[in-house]
Amino acid sequence: MDFLKTIYEHITGFFGLGGLYTIIKSGDYGKLLTYDGITALLGPMLPVLLVFEIIRGAFYKKFKVIHYKISFWTYVLNAFIGSVLSIAMVGFCIGFFSRFAIFKTTFTWYWFIYGYIVWEFAHFWYHYLAHKVRILWCLHSTHHAPESMNLSVTFAHFFLEAPYADLIRTSICILLGVNPPMLFVIMFIDGFWGSMIHIGENLIEDGRLGFLNRIVLTPSHHRVHHARNPLYMDTNFCNLLPIWDKVFGTFQNEDRKIPIEYGISRPMIKNSFLDAYFGEIIALAKDVRKAPGIKNKFLYVIMPPGWSHTGDHKMTTVVKKTYFESLGEQEKTDKVKESKAEVV
C-alpha cells in the first residue's frame, strides 16, 4: 500500500493536482480567484498538454519514444534534489541581498512592469553566461541535448542549473529593488511561459503564434534558440519579453527556409541520457587534463565552449562568422552567374 501511495503522490505531484484537489475538497471555490488558486488551475496545464502532445503525435504517427528519453530520465533524476536546491537558493538570495538593495519597491502595477523588465534582464544574463562560460555550459547543455522539440524538454536540466540560475536572477532582482512577493508572481509567470515555449511541432506546427511573434518570445523563437544551425546559435536568451535580446543584438526570428536542427554541436552518443547529462563535463575534464600550464587549464573552464589553447577555435562567434562569410561568397558567385547569363 505504501508503494501504491508513493506512485499516486508522484503522479498527482507531476500533474500538479494537489492544490486544485485541496480547493475542490474544501468547497471554497472563491480561492480559485486568489494567487494560490490561479497557480493551482494553471499548474496541471503543462503535463496535460504534454500528454495531449504525445497522443496527437501518436495519432499522426509522428511520436517516437526516443524523443522523450533524455527528458524523462533527467526529470526522474532531478525530481527531488534539483527543486530543493533551487528553493533554498532563492531563499538565501532574498535573505542575504535584501539589505543591499538600492531601493525598495511595492507590489503595484507600475512596479510590476519594472520588476518584470528587471527579471528579464536577470534571466538574459543567467542564460547568456550559460552559453558563454564553459563550466556553466556544462550545466546548461543537458537542456539543449535533445534532438527534437517537445514539452518534455522543459524538464531536461542538470540538477545544478536551477540553483545557478536562481543565484543570478534572484540576486539581480533583489539588488535592484524588486519586491519579494512580486518576484514570486513573476517567477510563476516566467516558469509557466518558459514551459509553454517548448511546445513541439506535434502540437503546434507553426510556433510563431500570429501577431504574438512581434510582441513576445514565442515557441518559434525558442525553437531557434535550441537550434545548432549557425544562423540560430546563441540567440533569443530572453524568456517572455525580447527586450534585452533586441538591446544586445541577440534577437533572431525563425527563417522558415532554414529547417531547424536541434541539439548541440558536439558529436554525441545518439539518444544517450548519460552523454546528455555528463558528456560536457567529461569533455571539459579531458581538455583541462591535456592543456599545458595552469593558465590554459583555467581558461578552458571560463572561456566559451569551443575555445582552444591551440588557437583552433570552434566558438559560436567563429562558426557564425565563417557562415556569414560563406553566404557573402555565395552571393558573389550567384551574381557572377547571373551577369554571365545576361551576356549570353
The predicted-structure confidence for 137-161, as pLDDT tens digits, reads as follows: 999 999 999 999 988 898 889 999 9
Q: Determine the pLDDT at residue 298.
A: 97
pTM to 2 decimal places: 0.83
What φ, ψ does residue 61 adopt, rounded to 5°?
60, 35
Section 304-332 average pLDDT: 88
Cβ neighbour number for residue 275 with a 10 Å cutoff: 19
Least confident window among 5-9, 25-29, 284-288: 5-9
Of 33 and 142, the one with more pLDDT: 142
- Provide the greatest CA pair distance for the chain: 85
| pLDDT tens digits for range 174-228 | 999 999 999 999 999 999 999 999 998 888 999 999 999 999 999 999 999 999 9
For the CA atoms of 19, 196, 234, 177, what is the dihedral angle to 10 degrees?
A: -50
State the Cα–Cα distance between residues 278 and 318, nearest whole angstrom. 25
Section 85-89 average pLDDT: 87
Of 99 and 39, the one with more pLDDT: 99
Confirm if 131 and 137 have CB atoms less than 8 A apart: yes
Of 216 and 57, the one with more pLDDT: 216
On the question of pLDDT at 332 being above 60, the answer is no
Of 55 and 321, the one with more pLDDT: 321
Q: Determine the pLDDT at residue 264.
A: 95
pLDDT band for 335, please (50, 70, 90 cuts): very low
State the Cα–Cα distance between residues 265 and 58, nearest whole angstrom. 29
Section 238-265 average pLDDT: 95
State the Cα–Cα distance between residues 97 and 313, nearest whole angstrom. 38
What φ, ψ does residue 109 adopt, rounded to 5°?
-65, -35
